[in-house]
Amino acid sequence: MSTEGDQRDTEGKRIRGPETRRLDFRVSGEGSEYLKKLVIPIVIIILLLAIMAYVFVTYGSAFIITRIIASSFFIAGMMVGAVVIFALLRLYMRLRFYYHVISYSVKASERNLQDIYEIADTAAGRLGIKAPGVYVVQNPEINAYAIGTFKKIIVINTGLIDATDTEELTFIIGHELSHVKYGGSVPVKVPGFTIPVPMLFSSQRREYTCDRGGLIACRDLNKSILVLAKLALGKNLASKINIEQLYNNKKEVEDDRISRLSEALASHPPIRDRVFRLREFYNSPLYIELIR
């Protein structure tokens, strides 16, 4: 991929600059998955409407209309109040956690944690975006995440750094950078155009998209799969896995499905599906095109 962000000077240091082309590696179907998660709320609304219809038929319009008018202001006030309180509480908790993380972490820069800073800069250049702030926090859990309401940052636990090498960490940072790249909305197609809908529910297809971003940043399939195994099993057990044979057969993946309901409710797809889809993407013409 030809970007100014990928150029280096005579000493091998990265030359920072804007990307020269936009990359799109989003997995299709995010909108349809999002709409499926609205099925339960829609069913509840339909049941409420059915109850109202039954009352209407049984007691007549005068009975139900007078009571709706009498209670409408109270119900509307309660609903608006509940929504406002929920939104403010959610915003407060997000901001509180955001500043808590910043207070107890160290930001990677050209002077501090330079190796992590350069990994993030390289990954961002390969993804065609500008790297946000990357912070390292003391936590033994093998994990990293992107947070921020008004300004996104990436947080990396020390447990993840201790358990990964450069290529594996590049995959994780590329994954989180992809969350930043595609933001907190889901594209929902309606006749004639596509509208971005705020992502109130987790999206498993978004995780597949971000795994693609991790691979584009890392450029090493086996390292990408290995770090996914480390997220699931830890560093020691993951080292005992045959990475090249891990979920490389479609029938093996399909036969290993234990509970489709639990998968539908989980925030992240199963590791087996992430590994299999990552292999598919690696062998696709799209991946070859994106890394040129």
Each residue of 217-229: pLDDT tens digit? Answer: 999 999 999 999 9
183, part of any domain: yes
194, part of any domain: yes
Give the number of domains in the chain: 1
> Between 251 and 180, whose confidence is greater?
180
135, part of any domain: yes
For 151-165, what is the mean pLDDT?
94
Q: Evaluate if residue 52 carries a pLDDT over 90.
A: no
Q: How confident is the model at residue 118 (pLDDT cuts 50, 70, 90)?
A: very high
Residue 2: its pLDDT value, please?
A: 38
Closest CA to 27 of 275, 277, 196: 277
7, part of any domain: no
Question: Residue 268 carries which side chain, given as an amino acid letter?
Answer: H
For the beta carbon of residue 164, count every other beta carbon within 10 angstroms.
22
The CA–CA distances, whole Å, from 272 to 16, 82, 197, 253 equal 37, 40, 29, 6
93, part of any domain: no
46, part of any domain: no
Structure-token match 């990408």, residue found: 224
44, part of any domain: no
> Between 266 and 46, whose confidence is greater?
46
| Range of lowest pLDDT (53-67, 112-126, 158-172) | 53-67
The domain of 194 spans: 21-39+104-290
Distance of CA 45 to the CA centre of its chain: 29
Residue 210: its pLDDT value, please?
A: 95
Do 187 and 195 form a contact (C-beta atoms < 8 A)? yes
Do 207 and 274 form a contact (C-beta atoms < 8 A)? yes
**pTM more than 0.85:** no
Distance of CA 145 to the CA centre of its chain: 9
Residue 158 structure tokens: 């020390």
Per-residue burial over 118-143, b = 16 or more CB atoms within 10 Å of its CB, e = otherwise: ebbbbbbbbbbbbbbbbbbbebeebe
| Range of lowest pLDDT (22-31, 102-111, 125-134) | 22-31
Residue 33's Cβ-side half-sphere holds a number of Cα atoms within 13 Å equal to: 23
Do 234 and 143 form a contact (C-beta atoms < 8 A)? no
- To the nearest whole number, what is the mean pLDDT of the chain? 82
d(CA 63, CA 71): 13
Q: Evaluate if residue 72 carries a pLDDT over 70.
A: no
> Between 155 and 55, whose confidence is greater?
155
